[in-house]
Homo-oligomer: A and B are copies of this chain.
Amino acid sequence: MKLYDAPWAPSPRRVRIYLAEKGIEVERKTIDLRNGEQLSDPYLKINPRGAVPALELDSGEVLNESAAICRYFEALHPEPPLFGSTPLEIGRITSWTRRIEGDGYAAAVYVLRNSVPAFADRAEAGKWPALPQIPELATRGSIMWSAFVDALDERLGESDWVAGDTYSFADITALVTIDFASRAKLPLPDDAANIRRWHEAASARPSAEA
């Protein structure tokens, strides 16, 4: 199998951190996002959505979506569990993962895609008809980001890791989101002490370098 990857984008990084935590090695091919290779004809034959990551299986079938690729590997290699073992852990990890995606990651994407000139007419990730940037949506993203950070900081005052006592896919999702947001000029506020404590611990794991 082969993983189509890119070095600075958040979704491929989510898969790389996951694979590093699991100790899984997969052949990778880098797609050059800066030069638009994800929207080139050869890559669109692999993934018509024009997005990375994508996992090409030996059968030729391609799985896309970072969380789907990780869940595929989780089913192949259940240990150590990163999506939970008990029903309650599974529910908590999925709930937090989706909250981080829907509230935090979405906010950062709103800002980045609607303000950075390189994304003019590509205001949503992947292959779409031309979608103009909307400056008001970047403003909305900033408001959402502040509220999200407050909620995540409160949560991380209650538990060591996002979804409980152990590191999980929710932490991977949060780490990727926070680091991506800082590139979108949405840094953490000084008073987010719980996030800072957690961010240091998550970033110290070897997987964070993947």
Q: In A121-140, which residues have CB < 8 Å from any B CB?
A: 123-124, 126, 128-129, 131-132, 134, 136-137, 140
Q: Is A31 engaged at the interface, CB distance under 8 Å to the other chain?
A: no
Residues of B contacting A84 with CB < 8 Å? 75
Contact yes or no, A49 B134, CB < 8 A: no
Contact yes or no, B134 A134, CB < 8 A: yes
Produce 1/0 per residue, A89-122, CB < 8 A to B.
Answer: 0111011011100010000000000000000000
Residues of B contacting A151 with CB < 8 Å? 48
Taking a contact as CB atoms closer than 8 A, the residue among B55, B95, B128 that contacts A68 in the complex is B95
Task: Tell me how many chains of this kind the complex includes.
Answer: 2
Q: Is A87 engaged at the interface, CB distance under 8 Å to the other chain?
A: yes
Residues of B contacting A87 with CB < 8 Å? 72-73, 75-76
Residues of B contacting A137 with CB < 8 Å? 134, 136-137
Closest to A131 in B: B140
Taking a contact as CB atoms closer than 8 A, the residue among B68, B86, B128 that contacts A91 in the complex is B68
- 14 interchain pairs, CB-CB under 8 A: A48-B151, A49-B99, A63-B91, A63-B95, A65-B94, A67-B94, A68-B92, A68-B95, A69-B91, A69-B95, A128-B143, A128-B144, A128-B147, A131-B143
